Amino acid sequence: MTDTKNLTQLGTNVEAPQSPEAAVLETVPFSRGDGPPAIVRFTCPEFTSLCPVTGQPDFAHIVIDYAPDAVLVESKSLKLFMTSFRNHGAFHEECTVMIGRRIVAATKPLWLRIGGYWYPRGGIPIDVFWQTGAPPEGAWLPDTGVAPYRGRG
> Are residues 24 and 87 in contact, defined by beta-carbon separation less than 8 angstroms?
no
- Please give the positions annotated as active site: 51, 58
15 labeled part of a ligand binding site: no
93 labeled part of a ligand binding site: yes
Q: In sequence order, what are the residues at sequence separation of 6 or more whose Cβ sits closer than 8 angstroms to the Cβ of residue 118? A: 58, 59, 60, 92, 125, 126, 127, 128
73 labeled part of a ligand binding site: yes
> 73: exposed, middle or buried (C-beta count within 10 Å: 0-12, 13-18, 19+)?
buried
> Distance between CA atoms of 69 and 42, rounded to whole angstroms?
16
Alpha carbon of 30 to those of 16, 65, 66, 120, 151: distances in Å?
26, 16, 13, 38, 38
Residues of the binding site for substrate: 73-75, 92-93
Binding positions: 73-75, 92-93
